[in-house]
Structure 1
Amino acid sequence: MQQVLQEPLIHWALRSFLAALFATAALSKLTGMEEFHGVVRNFRLLPDMASRAVAMVLPVAELAVAAGLMIPALAAPAALAAAALLGVFGLAIAVNVLRGRTQIDCGCFRNGMKQRISWAMVARNAVLTAMALGAAALLPAARPGGTADLATGMLAGSVLFLLYFSASMLGGLPARHPSTASVKGR
């Protein structure tokens, strides 16, 4: 098990997945800044002026984390920053779920699809936080890898991200109601 945890391919896959997650989230927020400010404000955790500042700074921080994860010398601190951000996101979601405010959009990816918050989303963020913490903890012990490890790890991380993103998008689709669904044979 120790050798698996030191495998550079595993580290590159994990770092690539997290980098893609943060880069995609940041870019989608940057393309809809006013909408994202509304999402931050809708969480009702910050005063309006602070929510605007957070909405402006957060995508830049996410891009910095994404870039840092791909630079070996910065990967461990970037993974810690990723864990911190994911933990804060999870906490913000949990506070609103506890308040009964599950109709609000999580703001994860600004793509026109509303992703309502839930305990499942809190759990998802806990898993992502654990992944980032794992990356930070394991990076110092990683064996140096070659080009094949880098390429394969980045490809694996990209595939994992595409699966994750696809699941998120499917979760953001509106549910079909029986009254509007067509029934075969009617």
Structure 2
Amino acid sequence: MNAASLMMGGVSALCAGGVGIMFLVAGVSKLREHDLFLGTLSSYRLLPAWSLEPAAWMLGAAEVLVGLMLLFGMGQDVGGVLAAGLLVVFAVAMGINVMRGRTDLSCGCTPGQKGETLSWSLVLRTLLCVAPALLPAVVGMASSVSIRFEGVACGVTLWVLWQALRALPEGFPGGEAGERA
């Protein structure tokens, strides 16, 4: 195995870890806070009322499954494609509501946590996540178990760090409240 393919496999594993933990946490949150997520899903006004309950359960379960596939490398090609597809669907749903002027809605990403309201920057950020989601499907992960494990662990660590930075107190540089100032 040459150095370039080894590096791409490691980067792919890093992406699988970051995107995988993002989907796993979001999916578990949607299942645990089902009623809260159901309300958010309803507020988007994109689905008929009869489909909201099954859609809420299916989205949460799909996110958990995608997260596990990416984190454990079993079916990462399918997991990557599904993650990218879900991200596009989420971005389109947010974009439709932003076009309608409904920016006061919660994104619904992780119910039970402080969510963001809809904006074009959130739509763009969601679409930017498509590339890292697809990388494990396109490139595959490193054949070396240790590099695969280290890549996924680094991806998970980067996601945790991002969440920690978002939770910084108001006025602290880099914190959500500090970004608004």
Fold similarity call, TM over 0.5: yes
Match of 1:34? 35
**CA apart distance, 1:146:** 3.4
Match of 2:59? 58
8 Å contact from structure 2 (residues 80, 136) kept in 1: yes
Counterpart CA distance in 2 for 1:90 and 1:126 is 6
Counterpart CA distance in 2 for 1:174 and 1:42 is 25
**CA apart distance, 1:173:** 6.1
Match of 1:146? 145
The one-letter amino acid paired with 1:70 is L
8 Å contact from structure 1 (residues 113, 173) kept in 2: no
Name structure 2 gaps, 5 residues minimum. Answer: 169-173
Counterpart CA distance in 2 for 1:61 and 1:70 is 14
Superposed, 1:86-97 pairs within 5 Å as 86-97=87-98
TM-score (norm 2): 0.84
The one-letter amino acid paired with 1:150 is R
Match of 1:69? 70
TM-score (norm 1): 0.82
CA offset digits 1:33-63 (Å, max 9, x no partner): 0111000000000111112211111110111
Counterpart CA distance in 1 for 2:42 and 2:117 is 15
> Does the residue aligned with 1:110 lie in a helix, a strand or coil?
coil
The one-letter amino acid paired with 1:145 is S
84-93 vs 68-77, which deviates more?
68-77
**CA apart distance, 1:172:** 10
**CA apart distance, 1:72:** 3.2
CA offset digits 1:152-177 (Å, max 9, x no partner): 212210122113334555699679x9
> Does the residue aligned with 2:129 lie in a helix, a strand or coil?
helix
Match of 2:26? 25
Corresponding residue pairs, total: 173
**CA apart distance, 1:66:** 1.0
8 Å contact from structure 2 (residues 87, 126) kept in 1: yes
65-74 vs 119-128, which deviates more?
65-74
> Does the residue aligned with 1:161 lie in a helix, a strand or coil?
helix
